Chain A
Amino acid sequence: MIERVRSLLTPWRVLLAVLLVTAAVIVTFRFAFGLGSVTNLSDETPWGIWVGFDILAGIGLAAGGFIMAAAVYVFGLERYRPLLRMSILTALIGYLLFITGLILEIGRPWNIWRCIVDHNFHSPLFEIAWCVMLYTTVLLLEFSQVVLERFGWHRLEALLHKILVPLVIVGVLLSTLHQSTLGTLFTIVPHKLHPLWYSPILPVHFFISCLAAGLAMICFEGFLSWRFLKHPPRLDLLPNLARVMALILVIYFVFRIEDLALRHALPHAFAIGLPAFLFWLENLLFVVVPVVIVFRTARRMTTRSLFAASFCAVIGFIMHRFNVAVTGMQLIHETGYFPTWQELVISMSLIALGFIAAGLAVWFFPIASAGGGDASAGRNGAYRLPWRPRAASEPAEPGTGGSR
């Protein structure tokens, strides 16, 4: 027995447990004594890392779910079906974590349902609230396909298939709306946000960049599931996604520069100082490095170049969202905000929860098996759990998923 317990206590698991317990304590404090007791937020800086990172960046990075669903179901790019389930799973986990983060972030979470009955159509946040609510439902339904398949509830599965395409289309529309509206949030503060990030058409920036970020995230997940789950990365598919990502990034960058030029804000990018530094660092990571890597290794993209490019893009994207929500405002009105360690622990815990959820889901549901990858990888892979639900011992139906 003791042996068994000891074998479970790998350093990573201990670290994870410590992280999550700390997070639980912080959450308790937050609800008992208010946001001010664990964050550096203030009347001067009402939104911090939880909004910039957990919410804005988190939702953007989860864009892969609607992109892949559209690619496979609407545009008929059957080839990419093997990536579909993983993308939908990560999007679903992303949105659930986002909702968790939101409940911690807003001051009066018990009123969250008010969005349903109290409408303010003038508020971008109202639109986002509705879209996120509905889109999370769509994601749950899209993912329920895997659950139904897992438990062999074929009647329901057949029913779901009937509505799947309309469902996917609704999901794409909802995503388009709220991904862009996250940018609209900031269009109402022209004089409070630095001109290098403010734009009256911020929603367009947000939408184009979320497409690139979603694709980057799928590539990066390929790396993660290779490292942690020992699934071989789909080198037949991912490089194409990286190429599309690079193309979108080029379009995004041209658009961004053009927008700055039209608003006579371009000189800010060349004035030596913190704003220009942040601007170029962000675009170096988000656009320049990934694009250069992808184009230089165009013909023979290796695992390494693929993941270097996607990782840079993910970091650069997070930086963009953070610059809009927090740093860009600080550049106009310095308040000296820096997240507390508690804020960082909460953000890290959300990521950790995401990993745990993804690991459990991959292990329990036929996710990697779609499209005829190695069907058994999920269950026999490196990610082993100390316990095993009874149903999981049944073999998965072979050849589920991929219709080619």
Chain B
Amino acid sequence: MSPRAKALLIDITRCIGCGACSAACKTANDLPHEVEPQLTADTWTVVLERGGERWVRDLCRHCLQPSCVSVCPVGALVKREDGAVVYNKDICLGCRYCMIGCPFRIPKFEWHSAAPRIRKCILCAPRLEKGLPTACAEACPTEATVFGDRDTLVAIARARLDADPERYHPQVYGLTEAGGTSVLFLSPLPFEELDFDTTVASFPLPDLTWRLLLHVPNVVMLGAGFLGASYWLYRRREQVALEEEGETSGSAPRTGGDHD
């Protein structure tokens, strides 16, 4: 992780569900329509009521080792130094493997467009370039969403857990999920009660495919060796057979082979 990596800390105990973040996101990213009740191509973050009177934000987690970036065949999704995972429609194939691959089911697709794009939160990448925080963090009236360096935010999260163990479930969601994400959550309840997916593995998921792809050179070399040897054996057998035939019948040996 780059030391410059930015992140968000979302403290569910502080969220009042006002929706200022999702509204600010719409403006900052020029997204049409009202805020919809779930993530869509035009709604990149939502605040949902879960577990009764608890408000939970949903958005791209900007994983430290993002599955979406790893699976994209052309590199249309990129993890930047500043932590943002951004998208380039000009090279995207629209294969939607990123949607399958994302452990948090974040990327959305423009299903009713003739030139569809993948859409998701981009951590306000253009704002980060100007040294600004994300629009959602800036808009939050209660500091339920704060923006900062990931290391700092992890320290803040830990400090809050230590200072007030009564108030929090003792876990920072996003610290290890999918190998660590740039969006960290603190919750008053166990995370599964707020519909967080707690089955997400705690290591970087791209390791799973990379481990297998590393075998490609081995397969090629072993395969080529095996096939080459088999072919040589086959030719050799044929040659021997012909020579024997030649000896018995007295005719000159000729080379066999495929003449189809």
Q: Residues of A with Cβ closer than 8 Å to B?
A: 31-37, 41-44, 46-47, 70, 72-76, 81, 84, 105-109, 111-112, 114-115, 118-127, 129, 145, 161, 164-165, 169, 172-173, 176-177, 180-181, 184-192, 200-201, 203, 329, 333, 370, 401-403
Q: Residues of B with Cβ closer than 8 Å to A?
A: 39-41, 67, 70-76, 89-97, 99-101, 103, 105, 108-116, 197, 199-201, 205-206, 208-213, 216, 219-220, 223-224, 227-228, 230-231, 234-235, 237-238, 258-260
Name the distance in Å between B232's Cβ and chain A's nearest Cβ: 10
Asked if residues B99 and A43 are in contact (CB atoms below 8 Å), the reply is: yes
A32 to B90 Cα, complex, angstroms: 19
The one of B75, B111, B219 in contact with A42, judged by C-beta atoms closer than 8 angstroms, is B111
Residues of A within 8 A of B235 (CB): 76
Residues of B within 8 A of A176 (CB): 219, 223
Residues of A within 8 A of B201 (CB): 190-191
Chain B residue nearest to A329 (CB atoms) is B100
The one of B108, B110, B208 in contact with A190, judged by C-beta atoms closer than 8 angstroms, is B208
Name the distance in Å between B41's Cβ and chain A's nearest Cβ: 8
Sample of 13 more A-B contacts, CB < 8 Å, known A43-B108, A111-B74, A119-B74: A43-B109, A70-B227, A74-B230, A84-B260, A108-B115, A109-B93, A111-B91, A111-B92, A173-B223, A177-B219, A187-B208, A188-B70, A188-B205
Residues of B within 8 A of A108 (CB): 89, 92-94, 115-116
Asked if residues B114 and A46 are in contact (CB atoms below 8 Å), the reply is: no
A203 to B208 Cα, complex, angstroms: 12
Known contacts A108-B92, A115-B73, A188-B209; is-contact A169 B216 (Cβ 8 Å): no
Chain B residue nearest to A158 (CB atoms) is B259
Asked if residues B93 and A114 are in contact (CB atoms below 8 Å), the reply is: yes
Known contacts A33-B114, A123-B72, A403-B259; is-contact A114 B213 (Cβ 8 Å): no
Residues of B within 8 A of A107 (CB): 92-96, 109-110, 116
Name the distance in Å between B69's Cβ and chain A's nearest Cβ: 8
Residues of B within 8 A of A74 (CB): 227, 230-231, 234
Asked if residues B260 and A401 are in contact (CB atoms below 8 Å), the reply is: yes
Residues of A within 8 A of B227 (CB): 70, 74, 169, 172-173
Chain A residue nearest to B199 (CB atoms) is A191
Asked if residues B93 and A188 are in contact (CB atoms below 8 Å), the reply is: no
A190 to B90 Cα, complex, angstroms: 30
Known contacts A37-B112, A43-B108, A188-B209; is-contact A118 B75 (Cβ 8 Å): yes
